[in-house]
Each structure stands twice: as C-alpha cells, then as structure tokens.
Structure 1
Amino acid sequence: MLTHLVYVSTRKRNCTDEEIEKILAACRTNNGPLDITGVLLYSDTRFIQYVEGKSTALTSLYDKIKKDARHEKVVMISYNPITDRIFPSWQMGSLKMTSDDISFITDITSQDKDVFQKIITGKEADGAKVRELLVKFFKR
C-alpha cells in the first residue's frame, strides 16, 4: 500500500552541513531501489522529512532513521495511506530553512503558518495538512 510518513527531529550540533550532504547522497542512492521518494526540510536545529512509498519500506526506513546519531527526539507526526505521490521523481529533495521561525516568502495563510509551527514542534498529525503545506515549499 502506498503510504506517506512524516517525522520531525532535533538536529545534533555535531551534524554539520557536510553530514547533511552525506544524508542526502545516501537517500538518493538507496531510495531508488526501495521505490521511496520524498523531501527533507532542515535548519541548524531541526529536521522535517516527508517520505512516500510502500508501507513496509517506510516502516523499515523509519526504524533506521530513529537510530541515526545525527539527530534526536524523533517524532512521527503522520503515517497514512495515499493514492498518489506528490514527489514522484525525487529520491530526496531538500531545502534548508534559515531558522525554525521561518519567514514565508510566498503567499501563505495564517492557518498554514500555524500548521507549520505544529509540524516543526512535532504536534501536527493531520496527514493531508502536512502534505499540502510541504507541497507549497517545494512546488511553485
């Protein structure tokens, strides 16, 4: 079953920008054969990752993600079946946020801002809202 999984975590201080590049390179190499696509939003202190694929592949991936020493306080905020992918050709897209209190450049509603604050603090569980907001970050 096609599923999406979204988690947030706290980036450890020893996770340098070079480590982020290693994460992204590993995703781009490993996700293709597993038929996993998605995106990673990150700042100096936080990660938000959205992945989509078969539920068994995602739960296995999430088990590995939770053990990664480059972050801590991993919280799954959404895990739901989906009918189609929103990032079908991205083994792992990425976007660095300049801060956790992001200033939105695009036209975004106050409700979207509230949802984003809930996501980044690990409190939003509405998969549809999470997906809709992440699309706004990556699709123009």
Structure 2
Amino acid sequence: MLSQLVYVSNRKANCTAAEIDKILESCKKNNPPLDITGVLLYSDTKFIQLVEGEAKVITNLYDKIKTDDRHSNAMMISYSPIKEKSFPSWHMGSKKLAGNEVDFNTAISTEDRVIFEDLLNGKEESGQKVLNLLKKFF
C-alpha cells in the first residue's frame, strides 16, 4: 500500500553540512531502487522529513532513521495511506531553512504559521495539513 510518513527531529551538533551532503547522497543512491521519494527540510537544529513509498519500505526506513546518531528525538507527525505520491520524481528534495524562525516573504495565513510552529515542536498530527504546508516550501 502506497503510504506517506512525516517526522520531525532535533539535529545534533555533530551533523555538519558535510553530513547533510552524505545524507542526501545516500538518498540519491538508496531511494530509487526502493521507489522512495520525498523531501527534507532542515535547519541548524531541526529536521522535517516526508517520505513516501510502499508502507513496509517506509516504516523500515523510519526504524533505521530513528537510530541515526546525527539527530535525536525523532517524532512521527503523520503516517497514512496515499493514492499517489506528492513528490514522485524527487528521490529526496531538500531545502535548508535559515533557522527555526522562517521568513516566508509572503502573506502567510495565521493558520499556516501555527501549523509550522506546531510541526517544529512535534505537535501537528494532521498529515494533509503538514503536506499542504511542505508543498509551499517546494
């Protein structure tokens, strides 16, 4: 069953820019054969990642991600079946955020701002709201 998983975690100090490059290079190598796609938002202190693919494949991936020592406190925000992928050609799109405070440079609704702050704090649980917000970054 095609599914989507979103998690948030705390980036550790040992996770340098070179380590981010290693993560993305690993995604480029490992995700195509597994038909995994998604996006990674990261700042100096946080990760927000959305992965999509077959349910068993992405849950196994998440189990592996949780043990990665470049971050801590991985918290699943949403997990649900999907009809189609939101990022079908991105084996892992990425975007660095300048900090935990995001300057959206646009008129953003109060609701979206609250969703983003909740997401950073591991509080948002509505997969569709999270997906809609992440799409705005890409």
Indicate the TM-score class for this superposition, using the shorter chain for normalisation: over 0.9
Query: What code does the residue aligned with 1:90 have?
Result: W
Distance of 2:51 and 2:16 partners within structure 1: 22
Asked if residue 49 in structure 1 is aligned to residue 49 in structure 2, the reply is yes
Alignment of 1:68-83 (within 5 A): 68-83=68-83
- Match of residue 4 from structure 1: 4
Query: What code does the residue aligned with 1:129 have?
Result: K
Provide the secondary structure at the position in 1 that maps to 2:6: strand
Alignment of 1:29-40 (within 5 A): 29-40=29-40
CA deviation after TM superposition for structure 1 residue 108, in Å: 2.0
TM-score, length-normalised on structure 1?
0.97
Give the superposed CA RMSD: 0.7
TM-score, length-normalised on structure 2?
0.98
- Runs of at least 4 residues off by over 2 Å: none
Query: What code does the residue aligned with 1:97 have?
Result: L
Query: What code does the residue aligned with 1:24 have?
Result: L
Distance of 1:34 and 1:127 partners within structure 2: 22
Provide the secondary structure at the position in 1 that maps to 2:77: strand
Distance of 2:74 and 2:106 partners within structure 1: 28
Between the aligned residues of both structures, percent identity stands at 57
Provide the secondary structure at the position in 2 that maps to 1:53: strand
Unaligned runs of 5+ in 1: none
